A and B are shown apart, each in its own frame.
Chain A
Amino acid sequence: MNEEKKLRVAVIGLGKLGILHTAVVNMIPNAELAAIADINNQLSKYVAQAGLKAPFFSDTDRMLAEIEPDAVVICTPAFANLPVVERCLARDVDVFIEKPLAHTFDAAKKMVGLVSGRKIIHATGYLFAHMGLYKRAKHLIADGVLGRLYRVRSSVYTSEVFSKKKGWYYDPAKSGGGAVINIASHLLYVLYWYFGPAKSAFAQTRSIHSDVEDAATALLEFEDGLQGTMDVSWSVPGFRLPYTEIHVEGENGTMELTNDAIKLYLYKAHKEYPKEWTTIHKIDMPSTSRFEIGAEGLYEEDQDFVGRCLDRRPPAVTWNDGFEVQRMIEAIYRSAARKKVVAIGEIQ
């Protein structure tokens, strides 16, 4: 990696995640926060008074023209992603975009088409790819600790929606959906990362409080006969933060992955992993970041993007990966609407 050069990064969209990415970018040694853009001009004085040296723009085009950043971190609401991306890519700027890629499959497809065949570095904010415990579980599966895989059961729950809520997040035309696209997309990314693209989905969604779905259940089929389930709800009490569980069953045992630990049960020892029980606690894993704010993995995620922009190699999660997740999301929504199994291959 080129240690000398600093990547000039602009952050677009100053909501909750935009604030966190601004903070992280400002702490990465080989990055320079070059500008901040948000359509709400009133935020300009907050940026200045918070002590951020970067200039503020309420017009993204003007920011791109005047600042000419090397890269942008886009944290706009999902429905605004495509138009912002189009403007950035017109200037050959490398782009990190918060998940999901877009609010609709068609918008995501256009975005991927815009970078296809070009030397643009493009990354998507699927944070789990940067968390130590999830990387360790990926390594275990890829290393064949469980042998041939038979079944995977997965879920993510959080206590967030217990009455009708306002805002773009809960407006299907702007968010593209509810618990599946906003909460379960992280879990779907992990399933894709571990097991490859799904082949088909059969799903049901349920709207209890919202105009978007508050919960969903999906049967997923992966390559080599791996069967999977995915359950999501943002309307379950007792989950102060989103809680993810993935249970994998294979010919040599089982693996249970949660936010806190990996628990292995092996029928036969595999390399350093003994027969029967092994628990790997998150707390025991070495730190991989020099700074942390908001969420584990956020610093590593931005550091990966910055590093890959400088050395021109693909980041951990590209838009192509994000697009595969978007296909799974689309399959779940189509299946729920049709009440039929949907082959992922039909989603083109």
Chain B
Amino acid sequence: MTVKLDPLILGANPFEGVSYIGRSQSLHYLEYFAKEDNVAAVLDAAYSAGVRALTCSNTANVIGALQKFPKSQDLSVYPVIPNAYEYAMEASEKGVLGAIMSKAKGFSMYQKVKLGLRALTKIKSVLTKDVMDMLLELLNFEMISFEKMKLGGVILHGQITDLALSSRNPDILSFFQDVIRENYGVEPILATHNFGVLLPQLIEWKIKIPIMAPLNSKGFMMKPSKEECEALVRDSGYQIIAKKVLAGGRLSPEEAFPYLLDKKIESVVVGIGSVPEAYHTFTVAKNILKI
């Protein structure tokens, strides 16, 4: 089945303080985008430049900005779940399960009851559940933040996709597909940092859903190699959402987008760090990619 994907998607890495260029930029992003209004300003600029989609985790600043942004109902949101980074940060102290429960404390009783989480206030009771039950709760739990938003698809976080890949187990990915289709009525998407390893495995498992993976002329984060990833993009017939197209900021939009012209991709995600950058990047993308 071919899924309709938005051709240009605003990425949220800068909103979460992620920069591959350096510490000063990362710090600037953390400070600047701590203010929801600044996130909303970039949303507005991207919208004005013709972008109608956003991919993000359930971080408070982005969710808050979406609530403030008057045209958010016109945006297709592609949640990336679960928010593996947040759990990993707390896992040293509380364990992975403890980190999840800590996050649950922020929900209202109504939300907990709705999720069946009231019984999960103790780690012990979580441990009695099986993996799929836990994953279901985690997915539903994270999707609460995206209630009432127009969904374009739901993306499984790359760390989870790659962990499932490493255990050579299709069940978790199949389960994710089913839950997203049945509970949310949209298409599941897999994010990965190991595209060239994942895709042959998905073909073997007969799982065919869109993949979001790094694709750029520098070969940045293209595992196992740039050449193998390019061949799979060309020949596999999978729907590809290209990310890291600016190679973590080492390429300008003018340098980066021509590389994508002859690639069989459906969609491009780009993280944006300022209002002028939003106008510039998306204007160049639309011109070069003829979107």
Binding site for B on A (CB under 8 A): 15-16, 19, 22-24, 26-27, 42, 45-46, 49-53, 160, 165-167, 169-170, 238, 240, 243, 258-261, 281-284, 286-287, 289-294
Whether A165 and B163, one on each chain, are in contact in the complex, defined by CB atoms closer than 8 angstroms, is no
How many angstroms between the C-alpha atoms of A287 and B88 in the bound complex?
Answer: 25
Interface, chain B (partner A; CB < 8 A) = 16-18, 20-23, 26-27, 30-31, 85, 88-89, 91-96, 127, 130-132, 159, 162-164, 166-172, 193-194, 197, 218-225, 247-250
Closest to A182 in B: B92
Main secondary structure, interface of A, reads: loop
- Say how far B87's CB is from chain A's closest CB, in angstroms: 10
Q: Which residues of B contact A26 (CB under 8 A)?
A: 166-168
Contacts of A53 in B (CB 8 A): 168
Q: How many A-B residue pairs have CB under 8 A?
A: 113
Chain B residue at smallest Cβ distance from A261: B22
Looking at the complex, which one of B127, B162, B218 makes contact with A284 (CB distance below 8 Å)?
B218
Q: Give A71 to B238 CA distance when docked, in angstroms.
A: 39
Given contacts A52-B167, A291-B223, contact A281 B197 (CB under 8 A): no
Could you tell me the distance between the alpha carbons of A309 and B28 in the complex, rounded to whole angstroms? 45
With A167-B92, A292-B193 in contact, do A49 and B166 touch (Cβ < 8 Å)? no
With A23-B162, A260-B21, A283-B250: A289-B223 Cβ-Cβ less than 8 Å = yes
Contacts of B22 in A (CB 8 A): 258, 260-261
Q: How far is the CA of A193 from the CA of B13 in the complex (A)?
A: 33
Contact across chains for B166 and A27 when beta carbons are under 8 A apart: yes
**B248 to A24, Cβ gap below 8 A?**
no
Beyond the given A16-B96, A42-B127, could you list 4 further A-B residue pairs with CB under 8 A, ordered by the A residue number?
A167-B94, A261-B22, A291-B197, A293-B159
CA distance A287 to B70 in the complex (A): 43
Complex Cα distance, B224 from A287, in Å, reads 8
CA distance A51 to B168 in the complex (A): 7
B23 pairs with A243, CB closer than 8 A: yes
Q: In the complex, what residue of chain B is closest to A243 when comparing beta carbons?
A: B23
Residues of chain A within 8 A of B130, CB atoms compared: 45, 49
Asked whether, in the complex, the Cβ of B197 is within 8 Å of the Cβ of A290, the reply is: yes
Closest to B161 in A: A293
Asked whether B166 lies within 8 Å of A169 as measured between CB atoms, the reply is: no
- Residues of B contacting A294 with CB < 8 Å? 159
CB of A293 within 8 A of CB of B132, answer: no
Residues of A within 8 A of B26 (CB): 240
Is B132 within 8 A of A49, CB to CB? yes
Considering the complex of A and B, which 7 residue pairs feature the smallest CB-CB distances, nearest first?
A51-B169, A23-B166, A290-B224, A49-B131, A51-B167, A283-B250, A165-B93
Q: How far apart sit A53 and B171, CA to CA, in the bound complex (Å)?
A: 13
Give CA–CA (A68, B261) in the complex, Å: 53
CB neighbours (8 Å) of A46 from chain B are 131
